[in-house]
């Protein structure tokens, strides 16, 4: 046993030295845990943010201008006035997500109690902005009309006072979400690529043969790769979480960071085992790349880190449960945002362990058979 | 054949075919050629000799115009090789066969198809191609196998096929870079005979050959010996031997080396074994290894005594390596049994492993660790006690002369030193048995002799059993016993001298050839010779086109690429099945429709009013109810665990307050962890509660409760049902048609760089544009097939019709895949490995295609760098076409600008690829 541990340790040191000697990989790691997280968190927002709006104002009254002025950044870009003949071509070309049409004599009709209509055209192919944006526009318009009629605040006129609290992210800022999910996605990408590539590199350079004739077992080889790469990735991810996410992006972290790191270690193990498993199915780095990329894309996009898990069909949710990423996403959301502790998240952790061990076992079974044959 | 003529003129008095003046060539810091000046005579067989890594290949590539000249001047066939026009005009007169067995061949193409491809590159019409191919195949004895894939030919046959490919256009200058390395001696002899016959038919042809086998060089008319990038001798073989006063070229070569290189060199003396230990180190009995239907090793048996040096002699691919791997346990034997030290081989037995040292064929240590780190790592893994590790490592460093380079990385060291390091690593744990697979291939003669001295010491002083393989005859002669191997079988086992004597042969090589002839039956070569027709290829000069653009050459590449892809099921599956699977998963999986939000009610009022409020949630498809909450602690807990995304808290007295118009407060708690979902949920909740409130007001106050007297009509255009799928599916098609075609195309070019067949592009008249378009065409076709399948899935599985102009969609797709494959070609023209190409293409294209193309966020809402990144990539211009024709029902009038921009992208990427791709190797 002691020998096994020593071997894993020595091979792990070797693995770290190899990584140190590969500046391209190091740059890749730094890039993914810094710039890539910052850029995506601040760049790609799923919330209504700077949505492009146009207004067809055929009323040209004080009220219509009021409505126009009420559309403010950051929800909307400054509205652009267009003619009603331009609506179709402009929306066809995707220049605006929303076009508000205010009919002639709108203000007059309102005052004389004729219940005029205002139309919001929504480009319903802009999935992330159309629905929520329309809701916002709707309530902004109603609010403006209500204030115009010198009523009290609109809400006050309702017989119920609804108080909405968004827990864990009161202002529903998407970078709070995206940044942490990017950290997770990048752990996935790097764990699979680094561990798989480390194995394929040994195979392509013939060094794996060398290891296999020495008094070293395949388990030791696999574990040393997972542990060494895991050490680097988990360290980088934790730093990224503390420096980029918490400090730079100002995302408050509710839960216990040590717990998150513990989970990340388990997750990294299971994903790295998957990387090694994938590597045993390919003969070259090129094939590994071709196989790994779709796996990564699916694991990242369908894990619940981009779109809600419950929006997926049930069968697909079940299939995804066989991969580690949905468990870790739900674990990370619970710990980091909701401040959950072990009593709450242990089922996810257990699932990660089981999945990881299963991948690792299959990889170990295939390892020796596959690693030495080049045919 | 030998002649005493000086360098300036050839034996038949022509001006030299190649003149090299003051040529320098460097790779990074190392100089491959150092101030080289020589004239190579025309119309004869000229050789460049020297061990690996002395600059032979560089010189040949430079004179053929395949590699870019750095410094100095070279005149080939009467023109300056720097001049692109001269290169274009002469490349159809030069044939260049790169180093490496069958490197310029395409393994999945048949013998005929390979030749046909080369014929097309030289613009030969079909009838002429057929005629020439038939003649060449007959002349080389390959005519029985025109349909066999090149990858399945034996080494000797591959080499003949390579030669046929080089000869198909009747070159005036034939440049062969190490044509015989790694080929069995019989095939080698046949090869040289073949060259002689070809020269007899075409006496005007100049042949320039490089080789590391000194004994082969004795048949050349003229030779130049290179060492360390410098010329050390030129002249006829006889001259060179006379200069050195030696009787063989190998000895002469060593003698002519600069003094410091051969300091302390003396011939290797094999001492006889002092004690004969009769116990056996290795027993192999009927060892067999099959890969599918191919038998790599066929019932091999031998016994090796302790302390013996036992050699395996045979060509590449004869089964030597596989046999050795079976003995180390790396390769399980299909049949048969092996015993090490009298015990049955067990691949998992750690103790046996500690008694064996293994050195694989290629350098297999960690290039990124220093020499010392490599030694320490191996010492530790072999469990040398920690207190003795340092001493043992130092001992190895001094024994193998590695102390000076102890802290350098092996990557930067010469082959000979790396070889010593490998041996040091293999013996660091004092093994009793050493298994060495071609330990000296590629090492110069002096380093090889030194290496042998180590081996002899190990065997004779320490009694280590050494089992090694080689294809050098003079090394085989130094072994105690050898085994001759061919095509997976052992032909003979015995002492080298005895084997030669048995066959009444003068040398071991002759003996081996005679065994080989016996094994392969009658010599096919003799027949071939008779069939050589007189009015053959030589009487007519090939009509080679040197026009700048020729569709035939483009087509040759497109055709060949298509055949290769069709025969590579992994790539084809990736290209066609990959996008389909991803479309299906994403189509079902990525959805911005927020439904089934789980909610629970914390009703502290329990009145008719409170129930009515929650009733509305129950009926909505957006919400799904979970058991009621009974305390505020429970509410927190369940939100925390993520069991519910929404909690509705109704305070005590709600009903009473509502009735008495006191505006009771209702608390709604949302899980904000996923902001998009929370934002949408907030909209739903507000809507639902306002409705309920309005209703309540209506019924209670009895007045028309339109609180604000206007109608706001929201029209969801293009996608009335507001379902994600109508936006996602066209978007995923956009994504699939950039990622997959780009990666495929990128691999297409880089693969040729890695396998070496890019040499054909460099050495034939095909232009960069023809090459790129020829490569692009098949991938565009595959992408279009993929598009049709994606379209089918969109229509049939997802039920998403093309509402707009199908013609615009089709045209847009053609332009888009031209642009995306063009992007792949561009990436691959500056990357050098497949891995780099795959990752570079993926990383560069994924970010703009996923984030800034309009797939997730409308381009109109982007600003700054994101908008720029999006618009600078074709994806953002195809997304409007895809979604416009599928979902928005648009046509040409709305989308013409996008079509034009896509066309521009296609042209720009192709032009960029053409600029980045070099016809000459740098």
The model's pTM is 0.80
The Cα–Cα gap between B760 and B166 comes to: 10
Which member of A174, A215, A311 has the closest CB to residue B591? A311
CB contact under 8 A, A128 and B856: yes
Say whether residue A139 is in contact with chain B using an 8 A CB cutoff: yes
B17-52 pLDDT, tens digit per residue, is: 889 998 989 887 778 888 889 999 988 899 998 877
Q: What is the pLDDT of residue B275?
A: 67
Chain B, nearest residue to A113 by Cα: B709
* pLDDT of B523 higher than 70: no
Which member of A17, A121, A168 has the closest CB to residue B368? A17
Neighbours of B666 (CB within 10 A): 23
* pLDDT of B70 higher than 80: yes
Which stretch of A17-26, A291-300, B97-106, B867-876 has the lowest confidence by average pLDDT? Answer: A17-26
Q: What is the pLDDT of residue B10?
A: 43
Q: What is the pLDDT of residue B730?
A: 93
The Cα–Cα gap between A138 and B705 comes to: 18
* pLDDT of B5 higher than 70: no
Q: What is the pLDDT of residue B109?
A: 92
* Whether residues B601 and B567 fall in one domain: no
Q: What is the pLDDT of residue B898?
A: 94
The Cα–Cα gap between B367 and A23 comes to: 14
For chain B, percent of residues with pLDDT exceeding 70 = 92
Answer yes or no: are the C-beta atoms of A372 and B324 closer than 8 Å.
no
CATH number at residue B453: 3.40.50.300
The reply to whether B622 falls in a domain is yes
Q: Six-digit token pair at B734?
A: 């956009």
> What distances in angstroms separate CA A60 from CA A121, B410, B496, B736, B789, one per listed residue?
19, 79, 107, 47, 51
Domain boundaries, position B77: 1-93+173-187+210-262
B863-916 pLDDT, tens digit per residue, is: 777 788 889 999 999 999 999 999 888 889 889 999 999 999 999 999 999 998
Mean pLDDT of B530-549: 50
Q: How far is A175 from chain B (nearest CA, A)?
A: 9
The better pLDDT of the pair B818, B348 is held by B818
B503-519 pLDDT, tens digit per residue, is: 888 888 888 888 888 87
The Cα–Cα gap between A297 and B740 comes to: 13
Q: What is the pLDDT of residue B906?
A: 96
Chain A, nearest residue to B386 by Cα: A6
In CATH terms, is domain A53-157 a member of 3.30.365.10? Answer: no
Q: How far is B57 from chain A (nearest CA, A)?
A: 23
Q: What is the pLDDT of residue B677?
A: 84
Of the residues A102, A165, A308, the best mutation for testing chain B's interface (the one with the most B CB atoms within 10 Å of its CB) is A308
ipTM entry? 0.80
CB contact under 8 A, B861 and A125: no
* pLDDT of A42 higher than 50: yes
- Last residue of a domain, which of B519, B542, B561? B519
* Whether residues B728 and B860 fall in one domain: yes
Q: What is the pLDDT of residue A374?
A: 44
Say whether residue A216 is in contact with chain B using an 8 A CB cutoff: yes
Chain B, nearest residue to A339 by Cα: B640
Q: What is the pLDDT of residue B368?
A: 80
Residues 569 through 608 of chain B touching chain A, CB cutoff 8 Å: 570-571, 574, 578, 581-582, 585-586, 588-598
B330-375 pLDDT, tens digit per residue, is: 888 888 888 888 888 887 788 888 888 888 877 778 888 899 999 9
Which stretch of A15-19, B262-266, B574-578, B883-887 has the lowest confidence by average pLDDT? Answer: B262-266
Q: A200, A197, A272: which is closest to A233 by C-alpha? A: A272
Q: What is the residue whose two structure tokens read 């089934």?
A: B596
Chain A, nearest residue to B594 by Cα: A311
When divided into structural domains, chain B yields a total of: 4
Answer yes or no: are the C-beta atoms of B39 and B8 closer than 8 Å.
yes
Q: How far is B354 from chain A (nearest CA, A)?
A: 6
Q: How far is B662 from chain A (nearest CA, A)?
A: 8
User: Coil, strand or helix: which one is A153?
Assistant: coil
The reply to whether B526 falls in a domain is no
CB contact under 8 A, A177 and B674: yes
CB contact under 8 A, A289 and B834: yes
Of the residues A13, A67, A125, the best mutation for testing chain B's interface (the one with the most B CB atoms within 10 Å of its CB) is A125
Q: What is the pLDDT of residue B181?
A: 76
* pLDDT of B672 higher than 90: no
Q: Is B6 exposed, middle or buried (0-12, 13-18, 19+ CB in 10 A)?
A: exposed
Rounded to the nearest integer, the mean pLDDT of chain B is: 84
Which member of B331, B690, B706 has the closest CB to residue A373? B331
CATH number at residue B684: 3.40.1710.10
Q: How confident is the model at residue A21 (pLDDT cuts 50, 70, 90)?
A: confident
Answer yes or no: are the C-beta atoms of A255 and A335 closer than 8 Å.
yes
Backbone φ and ψ for B796, nearest 5 degrees, come out as -85, -50
- Contacts A157 to B, Cβ<8 Å: 707
The reply to whether B710 falls in a domain is no
Answer yes or no: are the C-beta atoms of B756 and B100 closer than 8 Å.
yes
* pLDDT of A154 higher than 60: no
Say whether residue A343 is in contact with chain B using an 8 A CB cutoff: no
Which member of A127, A174, A286 has the closest CB to residue B747? A286
* pLDDT of B265 higher than 80: no
The reply to whether B107 falls in a domain is no
Q: What is the pLDDT of residue B707?
A: 59
The reply to whether B388 falls in a domain is no
Which stretch of B162-166, B260-264, B603-607 has the lowest confidence by average pLDDT? Answer: B260-264
* Whether residues B632 and B576 fall in one domain: no
Q: Six-digit token pair at B549?
A: 């653009």
Say whether residue A104 is in contact with chain B using an 8 A CB cutoff: no
- Contacts A206 to B, Cβ<8 Å: 360-364
DSSP secondary structure string for all residues of B351-402 = HHHHHEEEE-SS--S-TTS-HHHHHHHHHHHTT--HHHHHHHHHHHHHHTT-
The Cα–Cα gap between A10 and B375 comes to: 12
The reply to whether B89 falls in a domain is yes
Of the residues A286, A336, A347, the best mutation for testing chain B's interface (the one with the most B CB atoms within 10 Å of its CB) is A286
* Whether residues B305 and B214 fall in one domain: no
A95-116 pLDDT, tens digit per residue, is: 899 999 999 999 888 888 788 8
The reply to whether B532 falls in a domain is no
CB contact under 8 A, A50 and B863: yes
Helix/strand/coil (H, E, C) string of B504-516?
Answer: CCCCHHHHHHHHH
Q: What is the pLDDT of residue A371?
A: 63
B376-420 pLDDT, tens digit per residue, is: 999 988 888 888 899 999 988 988 888 888 888 887 777 778 888
Q: What is the residue whose two structure tokens read 């300091």?
A: B263
- Contacts A124 to B, Cβ<8 Å: 716-720, 722, 726-727
CB contact under 8 A, A338 and B291: no
Q: What is the pLDDT of residue B280?
A: 85
* pLDDT of B670 higher than 80: yes
Domain ranges of chain A: 2-44+173-371, 53-157
CB contact under 8 A, B693 and A118: no
Q: Is B756 exposed, middle or buried (0-12, 13-18, 19+ CB in 10 A)?
A: middle
* pLDDT of B11 higher than 60: no
Phi/psi-derived region of residue B373, left when phi > 0, alpha when psi is between -120 and 50, beta in every other case: alpha
Cα-Cα-Cα-Cα dihedral of B892, B897, B898, B900, to 10°? Answer: 100
A228-257 pLDDT, tens digit per residue, is: 999 999 999 999 999 888 888 888 888 888
For chain A, percent of residues with pLDDT exceeding 70 = 95
């Amino acid at each position: 046993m002691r020998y096994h541990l020593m071997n894993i340790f020595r091979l792990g040191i070797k693995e770290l030295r190899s990584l140190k000697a590969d500046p391209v990989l190091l740059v890749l790691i730094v890039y993914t845990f810094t710039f890539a997280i910052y850029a995506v968190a601040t760049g790609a927002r799923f919330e209504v943010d700077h949505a492009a709006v146009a207004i067809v104002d055929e009323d040209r009254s004080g009220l219509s201008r009021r409505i126009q002025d009420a559309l403010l950044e950051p929800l909307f870009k400054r509205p652009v006035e267009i003619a009603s003949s331009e609506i179709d071509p402009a929306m066809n070309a995707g220049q605006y997500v929303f076009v508000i049409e205010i009919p002639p004599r709108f203000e007059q009709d309102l005052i004389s109690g004729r219940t005029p209509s205002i139309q919001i055209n929504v480009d319903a192919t802009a999935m992330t902005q159309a629905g929520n944006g329309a809701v916002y526009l709707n309530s902004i318009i109603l609010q403006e009309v209500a204030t115009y009629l010198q009523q009290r605040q609109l809400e006050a006129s309702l017989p119920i006072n609804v108080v909405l609290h968004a827990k864990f992210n009161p202002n529903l800022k998407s970078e709070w979400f995206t940044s942490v999910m990017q950290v997770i996605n990048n752990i996935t990408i790097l764990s699979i690529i680094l561990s798989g590539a480390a194995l394929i590199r040994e195979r392509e350079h013939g060094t794996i043969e060398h290891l296999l004739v020495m008094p070293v077992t395949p388990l030791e080889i696999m574990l040393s790769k997972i542990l060494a790469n895991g050490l680097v990735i988990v360290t980088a991810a934790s730093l990224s979480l503390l420096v980029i996410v918490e400090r730079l992006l100002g995302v408050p972290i509710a839960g216990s960071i040590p717990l998150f790191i513990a989970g990340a270690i388990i997750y990294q193990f299971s994903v790295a085992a998957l990387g090694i498993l994938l590597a045993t199915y390919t003969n070259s780095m090129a094939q590994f790349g071709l196989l790994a990329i779709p796996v990564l894309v699916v694991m990242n996009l369908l894990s619940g880190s981009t779109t809600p898990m419950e929006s997926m069909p049930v069968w697909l949710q079940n299939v995804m449960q066989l991969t580690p990423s949905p468990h870790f996403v739900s674990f990370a959301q619970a710990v980091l945002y909701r401040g959950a502790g072990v009593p709450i998240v242990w089922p996810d952790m257990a699932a990660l362990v089981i999945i990881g061990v299963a991948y690792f076992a299959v990889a170990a079974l295939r390892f020796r058979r596959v690693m030495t044959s080049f045919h | 054949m030998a002649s005493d003529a000086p360098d300036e003129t050839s034996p038949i008095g022509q001006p030299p075919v190649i003149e090299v003046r003051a040529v320098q060539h460097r790779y990074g810091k190392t100089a491959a050629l150092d101030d080289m000046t020589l004239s190579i005579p025309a119309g004869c067989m000229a050789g460049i000799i020297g061990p690996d890594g002395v600059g032979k290949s560089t010189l040949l590539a430079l004179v053929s115009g395949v590699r870019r000249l750095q410094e100095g001047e070279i005149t080939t066939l009467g023109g300056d090789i720097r001049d692109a026009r001269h290169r274009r005009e002469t490349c159809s007169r030069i044939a260049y066969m790169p180093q490496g067995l069958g490197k310029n061949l395409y393994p999945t193409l048949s013998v005929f198809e390979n030749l046909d491809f080369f014929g097309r590159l030289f613009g030969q019409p079909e009838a002429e191609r057929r005629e020439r191919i038939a003649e060449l195949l007959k002349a080389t004895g390959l005519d029985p196998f025109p349909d066999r894939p090149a990858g399945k030919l034996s080494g000797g046959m591959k080499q003949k096929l390579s030669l046929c490919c080089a000869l198909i256009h009747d070159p005036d200058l034939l440049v062969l870079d190490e044509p015989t390395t790694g080929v069995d001696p019989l095939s080698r002899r046949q090869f040289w005979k073949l060259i002689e016959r070809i020269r007899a038919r075409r006496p005007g042809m100049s042949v320039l050959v490089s080789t590391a086998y000194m004994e082969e060089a004795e048949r050349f008319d003229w030779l130049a010996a290179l060492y360390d990038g410098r010329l050390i001798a030129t002249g006829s073989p006889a001259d060179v031997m006379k200069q050195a006063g030696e009787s063989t070229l190998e000895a002469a070569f060593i003698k002519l080396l600069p003094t410091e290189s051969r300091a302390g060199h003396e011939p290797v003396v094999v001492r006889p074994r002092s004690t004969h230990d009769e116990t056996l180190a290795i027993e192999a009995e009927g060892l067999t290894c099959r890969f599918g239907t191919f038998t790599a090793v066929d019932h091999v048996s031998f016994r090796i005594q302790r302390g013996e040096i036992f050699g395996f002699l045979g060509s590449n691919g004869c089964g030597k390596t596989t046999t050795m791997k079976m003995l180390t346990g790396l390769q399980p034997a299909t049949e048969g049994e092996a015993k090490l030290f009298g015990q049955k081989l067990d691949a998992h037995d750690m103790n046996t492993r500690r008694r064996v040292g293994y050195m694989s064929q290629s350098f297999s240590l960690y290039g990124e660790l220093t020499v010392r780190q490599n030694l320490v790592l191996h010492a530790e893994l072999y469990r040398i006690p920690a207190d003795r590790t340092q001493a043992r490592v130092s001992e190895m460093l001094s024994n193998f002369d590695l102390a000076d380079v102890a802290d350098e990385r092996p990557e930067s060291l010469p082959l000979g030193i790396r070889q010593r390091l490998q041996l040091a690593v293999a013996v660091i744990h004092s093994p009793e048995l050493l298994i060495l697979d071609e330990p000296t291939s590629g090492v110069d003669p002096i380093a090889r002799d030194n290496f042998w001295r180590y081996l002899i010491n190990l065997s004779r002083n320490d009694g280590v059993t050494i089992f090694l393989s080689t294809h050098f005859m003079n090394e085989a002669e130094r072994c105690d016993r050898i085994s001759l191997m061919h095509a997976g079988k052992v032909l003979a086992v015995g002492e080298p001298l005895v084997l030669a004597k048995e066959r009444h042969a003068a040398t071991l090589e002759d003996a081996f050839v005679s065994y080989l002839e016996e094994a392969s039956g009658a010599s096919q070569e003799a027949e071939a010779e008779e069939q050589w027709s007189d009015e053959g290829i030589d009487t007519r000069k090939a009509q080679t086109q040197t026009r700048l653009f020729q569709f035939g050459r483009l087509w040759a590449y497109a055709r060949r690429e298509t055949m290769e892809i069709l025969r590579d099921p992994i790539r084809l599956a990736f290209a066609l099945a990959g996008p389909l699977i991803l479309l299906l998963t994403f189509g079902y999986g990525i959805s911005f429709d927020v439904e089934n939000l789980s909610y629970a009610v914390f009703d502290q009022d329990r009145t008719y009013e409170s129930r009515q409020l929650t009733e509305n949630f129950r009926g909505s498809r957006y919400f799904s109810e979970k058991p009621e909450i009974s305390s505020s602690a429970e509410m927190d807990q369940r939100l925390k665990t993520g069991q519910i995304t929404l909690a509705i808290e109704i305070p005590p007295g709600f009903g009473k307050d509502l009735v008495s118009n006191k505006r009771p407060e209702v608390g709604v708690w949302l899980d904000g962890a996923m902001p998009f979902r929370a934002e949408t949920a907030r909209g739903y909740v507000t809507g639902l509660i306002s409705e309920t409130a309005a209703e309540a007001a209506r019924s209670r106050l009895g007045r028309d409760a339109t609180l604000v007297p206007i109608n706001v009509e929201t029209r969801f255009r293009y996608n009335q049902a507001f379902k994600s799928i109508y936006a996602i599916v066209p978007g995923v098609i956009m994504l699939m048609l950039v990622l997959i075609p780009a990666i495929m195309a990128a691999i297409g070019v880089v693969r040729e760089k890695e396998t070496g067949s890019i040499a054909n592009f460099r050495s034939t008249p095909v232009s960069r544009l023809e090459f790129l378009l020829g490569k692009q065409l098949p991938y565009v076709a595959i992408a279009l097939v993929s598009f049709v399948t994606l379209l089918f899935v969109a229509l049939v599985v997802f039920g998403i019709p093309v509402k707009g102009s199908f013609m615009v969609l089709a045209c847009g797709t053609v332009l888009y895949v031209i642009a995306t494959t063009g992007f792949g070609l561009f990436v691959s023209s500056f990357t050098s490995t497949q891995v780099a190409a795959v990752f570079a293409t993926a990383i560069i294209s994924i970010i703009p295609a996923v984030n800034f193309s309009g797939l997730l966020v409308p381009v109109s809402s982007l600003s700054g760098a994101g908008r720029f990144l999006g618009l600078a990539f074709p994806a953002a211009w195809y997304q409007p076409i895809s979604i416009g024709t599928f979902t928005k029902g648009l046509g040409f009038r709305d989308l013409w600008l996008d079509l034009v921009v896509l066309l521009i992208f296609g042209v720009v990427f192709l032009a960029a690829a053409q600029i980045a791709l070099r016809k000459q190797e740098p």
